[in-house]
Structure 1
Amino acid sequence: MSSSPDPAVVPEVSATSVPGAAPAPVAASTAPVAATAPVAASASGVASPPETSAAELDRAAADLGAAATTFARMPPAEKAALLRALLPRTLEGARAQVEAACVAKGIDPSGPMAGEEWLAGPCLTLSNIRLLAEALDDIHRRGKPRLGRGGVHVRRDGRVEVGIFPQGVQERVLYGGVRAHALLQPGATAASARAEQASFYQQRDPEGGVTLILGAGNVASIPPMDALHSLFVEGRVVLLKMSPVNAYLGPFFERAFAPLVERGFLRIVYGGAAVGTHLAEHPAVTHLHITGSAETHDRIVWGAPGAEQERRRATGEPRLAKPITSELGNVSPVMVLPHLYAEDELWFQARSVATQVMNNASFNCNAAKMLVLPRGFAQRPLFLAMLARAFEAVKPRRAYYPGAHDRHARLTEGRAALDAAVLRLPPELPLPRGVLRFGAPGADALPWTMVVGLDEADAGEPLFREEPFCSLLSVVELGSSDPVHFLDEATRFCNERLWGTLAASLVVHPLSEEDPAVAEALDRALLALRYGAIAINQWPAMVYGAVSPPWGGHPSATLSSVQSGLGFVHNTSMLGGVEKVILRAPLRASPRPPYFFDHRRSHEVGARLAAWTAAPGWGRAWSVAKAALRG
């Protein structure tokens, strides 16, 4: 999920070079892999299973190939029952999983920051399981999954929108004011939107297939949710290779998903580059899903960097001729529409942006990386001072992802060190070029960092073209304080200058939209921005976290210019022909969102939300709300 080199980048190696022994088995006696070596301690201090041997990789792939058609033709109601068997097992192991992730990332498991691992881990996995089970029940009863509030809507320009979030009364209460719809690709109609839903389940005798998932190393819910999508939306069994960064999570997934493992529908394996190469080229594997870096993707598809890769790319001759989907990185922009915001509104949004930088130590593919401000924005000094205040409030985090220190040094070297006083310069003056660092990091941490004074016209600026997968936020000013002009210029800049097509956000005051010219310009920007997820007044991670919306890069990407990736995951409504998801939220929410860096009960909210997600009910919903209100 990043544009940074993954620790398991796939090189040109032979299958016979795969060393190692198999991981420890799951509890079931039918577990596919036997332990022949002790569990290894990782650099994080959390024990990880050893690398899986070549023989056991071959056996796992063969087992899955043998089960693929059986699973593909399993009735939806039976699949729904299989999913529901995962809920209690996932909830039972949730606390231990969260504690392991906290140890690996240097977080106090009993403190508020542990809420990150609850909210982005078991809570989302449980939600995905339940929503897919409900969708399959719908398919069994009436052929299609239900849609969210608003259903299918045809805009005045003929484009089709589909309501996808929220989907129930309790969801509306817990996520007050947040709503999302999918914009379908040009040419879609209301009839085609319905006709293309759940396309896999319209096949009479599907053959299925085997998807190799190269798992993400940064967020605990990504590997299991990618597996769930392949299994229950696309109808293919899964061979999940854990990233070496978070391989310690694999045994938790094996136990939680044991019903799938026992039936031969899921295998989880361990290792680095050689294992990835061996499996990608295995004849039993029919599809690949890559989460990681564009560099990893291009090595797999086009070969090692150099003349051969460029030749293959130019002639359209991939070295791996299998269908590939992916979810990679992004230089995620936050565009602030000019307006005279109230101080509490501005403080809320400053904390939101700071959270988008600091969450998970900034190792998120949707972390805020480029703050796009209007040139001459009257509240620039106040907003940037608020951002600095937020950064100063949180101790720098452990930079647990490999390569982060080198990346941070490379992207900040040669930039003048600035004092925070420059943030209070009058808005008519441009910010000087340089870098500000906040906090006193320990040896294994990086400071929260702000790079200012970027030139929008500088085609050579690396921060425009490379995702800084570390604790760094850049600031660029463009356009003017006229909101229509700013929206047009910000859209052009994001589409033409910034790398990636995954996620973007805008801060928009509701009063601005009462001006017809601004409302039209905003709608024009939402249509034109080439991102798979766009959020208004909210972190785009909410599109990921809502689970029901499709999540992925804008479909303008290609195999040769992959940007943030190809295809969508999650998508529990099983929509076809999606272009993007647009999510809206209030400018200021109360109580403060539990994922905010300064929420005092985030860990309690996360634990209670996991219980509600596994078995929704008003009593559990009220328990979540009480913890949220105390934050």
Structure 2
Amino acid sequence: MTPQTAADPEFDEALRAALDADIEVLRQGARTWSHLTAGQRATLLRAVRASVAAAVEDWADTAADSKELDARHPLRGEEWLSGPYSVLGALDAYIDTLSEIAAGRSPLDRVAIGRAPGGRTRVGAFPLTRLDRLLLSGFTGEVWLQPGITPATARAAAGLAQRTADDIGGVGLVLGAGNITSIPVLDVLYELLAYNRVALLKVNPTQDALVPVYERALAPLIQPGFLRIVQGGAAVGAYLTAHRDLEHVHITGSAATFDTIVWGPSSGPKAGATTRRRRENRPLLTKPITAELGGVSPIIVVPGEWSDADIAFQAEHVATMRLQNSGHNCIAGQVVIMSSQWPQAEQFRAELRRAYAAAPERTTWYPGSTTRMHQAAEDYPDALVLADRLLVEVDDGQDATALQRTEYFAPVLGVVELPGTGQEFLDAAVAHANDRLQGTLGANLIIDPATERSLGTGFERAVAELRYGSIAINSWTAFGFITPTLTWGAFPGNTLDDVGSGIGVVHNALLLDGVERSVVRGPFRPFPRSLPGLNGGGRLTILPKPPWFVSSRTGTAVSAGLTRFRAHGGILLLIRTLLRALRA
């Protein structure tokens, strides 16, 4: 590890030599990796899984402490699910895929494949195990491939670089995210398995406290030279992105950082050269780059006849989409799109205000977020201002542009209204999300079962029209993030010059080619209102209030229990955890 932090930005010859030495180890490691069979890689990942399982307590505690969540804070459980739980799930899924390939099968041989609107193929990517069918009953996930890809083509192409495992993919640079602790690790795994690239991980300075945990958890990858972890600020990043021995760059971050890497600085003495490079289409970065860059995520609320309990539950759902991790998520819901003609609109607004205000307070910790919150307060002086969050209800005649074009990456939630009901409203909301909101990473859609049935095929047609890489129906797109067999990334079509929410996908543990989007569906009503006869024809689930809800009273205990069960097993632990979930 290079002992360089944002607090010590000096970039000298000793640091340069240390970075070069790490890269040389990785170049040797790339050749070693190419000699491993799929079965051997699966065995290696099992060793990684064991070391991650041994680190789950340290991982979650260090992450929570770094975000100023003390030992009694009710949202401390977020760091279990978004950290070690996510990584353990990904390792399990990749091990399954490699085992299928080692046995001479396609990763899709035992997966349901069907057709989606517009000539697309859909892959039933979740649930694939009996445990997921039990614990996450009512939740399903599909990967939709790009139009024209047939089921036969999908099966033949699944496996990506693991179909030619002896190819040397070289060394990739992963510029790690600063907000969610599983992201850097998941991005490293994707480099190894989708591209046969070993990885140099530069940790974001906000994650420096996690580096010792990462080093212990990922030791089976570090020891043979398949991974190196370094720290540092902008100078280290600039040196590495330009390094001739690094084949590829992957970044999780902001479009501004992406543009600086690809084109150069947009301000200061070198801004003129950047402008000329853009005009002449001469990027400063000459190697390939993929990226996940966030955006402004819509939450489309389709009007229907909801009970008081429905309204309260879904208001807490929407509050969670914004307030989880203090809004410091690339996939945090930011703009609620409602119908002005919904008879229950004002009741929902009132319940949303209550749920938004009642969520536990926490620190707005991510660098720059407080400044963006202040800007939002200036743009919308009539917004509801709470101790650590902002709710903007855009009235007729108000300009919603700032809300819809600025990714605040902070606890700022907005509400806009459109006319119409039924299909008319849904089509207008989809067009509004596509055309008015910045980015294409994820969209959320809430609809009751009776209204969805009344729309018939028009509902799925509207879903197909949403130009987003992840779509969640009666769920939050973060469920797609945490589900390893689904894909994560922007809707296809972005370019170096107009990168939007990014280029390429990650996660994708089935190693699918030609991905367009992932679609998650969840239950509209929780247990016990999800039981037949009570749910109005909706999906059955055994989950009461999910543990990731910011309003869950037992979220930390359940999240920790599920992670420990994922790591170590134990039926008694699982039973205790499920009993705690019933008290959420």
What TM-score comes out, normalization by structure 2 length? 0.92
Instruction: Provide the residue aligned with 1:228 in structure 2.
Output: 189
Q: Do the aligned partners of 1:147 and 1:164 also contact (CA within 8 Å) in 2?
A: no
| Pairs within 5 Å for 1:607-618 | 607-615=560-568, 618=571
Residues 390-435 of structure 1 show CA distances to partners (whole Å, capped at 9, x for unaligned) of 122234321111111111111221533xxxxxxxxxxxxxxxxx31
Instruction: Provide the residue aligned with 2:389 in structure 1.
Output: 448
Residues 394, 135 of structure 1: CA spacing in aligned structure 2 closer, same or farther, 3 A cutoff?
same
Distance 1:457 1:556 in 2: 32
2:523 to 586, 589, 597: 586
Say whether 1:363 aligns with 2:320.
no
Instruction: Provide the residue aligned with 1:354 in structure 2.
Output: 319
Q: Do the aligned partners of 1:370 and 1:474 also contact (CA within 8 Å) in 2?
A: yes
In structure 2, the gaps of 5 or more residues are 528-543
Instruction: Provide the residue aligned with 2:538 in structure 1.
Output: none
Say whether 1:597 aligns with 2:550.
yes
Say whether 1:153 aligns with 2:114.
yes
Residues 51, 603 of structure 1: CA spacing in aligned structure 2 closer, same or farther, 3 A cutoff?
farther
SS at match of 1:137: helix
Instruction: Provide the residue aligned with 1:282 in structure 2.
Output: 243
What TM-score comes out, normalization by structure 1 length? 0.85
Instruction: Provide the residue aligned with 2:436 in structure 1.
Output: 497
Instruction: Provide the residue aligned with 1:436 in structure 2.
Output: 384
Instruction: Provide the residue aligned with 2:533 in structure 1.
Output: none
Aligned amino acid, residue 418 of structure 2: L
2:449 to 510, 516, 531: 510
Say whether 1:399 aligns with 2:364.
yes
Distance 2:583 2:98 in 1: 37
Residues 457, 558 of structure 1: CA spacing in aligned structure 2 closer, same or farther, 3 A cutoff?
farther
Distance 1:395 1:127 in 2: 28
Say whether 1:117 aligns with 2:57.
no
Distance 1:524 1:355 in 2: 27
Residues 414, 121 of structure 1: CA spacing in aligned structure 2 closer, same or farther, 3 A cutoff?
closer
Residues 528, 222 of structure 1: CA spacing in aligned structure 2 closer, same or farther, 3 A cutoff?
same
Residues 536, 614 of structure 1: CA spacing in aligned structure 2 closer, same or farther, 3 A cutoff?
same
Instruction: Provide the residue aligned with 1:138 in structure 2.
Output: 100
Residues matched between the structures, number: 561
Q: Do the aligned partners of 2:74 and 2:360 also contact (CA within 8 Å) in 1?
A: no
1:554 to 484, 491, 496: 491
SS at match of 1:170: helix
| Pairs within 5 Å for 1:246-285 | 246-285=207-246
Aligned amino acid, residue 346 of structure 2: P
Distance 2:577 2:405 in 1: 41
Cα RMSD (Å) = 2.2
Residues 208-237 of structure 1 show CA distances to partners (whole Å, capped at 9, x for unaligned) of 111101100101111111111111232110
Distance 2:255 2:437 in 1: 15
Instruction: Provide the residue aligned with 2:152 in structure 1.
Output: 191
Distance 1:333 1:147 in 2: 35
Q: CA deviation at 1:384?
A: 1.3
Of the structure 1 ranges 64-73 and 531-540, higher mean CA displacement relative to structure 2 is found in 64-73
Distance 2:286 2:565 in 1: 43
Residues 305-360 of structure 1 show CA distances to partners (whole Å, capped at 9, x for unaligned) of 14433433343221111111111111010000011211111111100010111110
Distance 1:265 1:563 in 2: 31
Residues 615, 130 of structure 1: CA spacing in aligned structure 2 closer, same or farther, 3 A cutoff?
farther
Q: CA deviation at 1:585?
A: 0.7
Aligned amino acid, residue 392 of structure 2: V
Distance 1:474 1:617 in 2: 43
Aligned amino acid, residue 393 of structure 2: V
Distance 1:317 1:148 in 2: 46
Residues 137, 204 of structure 1: CA spacing in aligned structure 2 closer, same or farther, 3 A cutoff?
closer
Q: Do the aligned partners of 2:53 and 2:568 also contact (CA within 8 Å) in 1?
A: no
SS at match of 2:511: coil
Residues 384, 252 of structure 1: CA spacing in aligned structure 2 closer, same or farther, 3 A cutoff?
same
SS at match of 1:233: helix
Say whether 1:60 aligns with 2:22.
yes
Instruction: Provide the residue aligned with 1:9 in structure 2.
Output: none
Instruction: Provide the residue aligned with 1:627 in structure 2.
Output: 580
Instruction: Provide the residue aligned with 1:568 in structure 2.
Output: 505
Instruction: Provide the residue aligned with 1:526 in structure 2.
Output: 463
In structure 1, the gaps of 5 or more residues are 1-20, 24-36, 43-49, 417-433, 442-446
Instruction: Provide the residue aligned with 2:131 in structure 1.
Output: 170
Q: CA deviation at 1:548?
A: 1.5
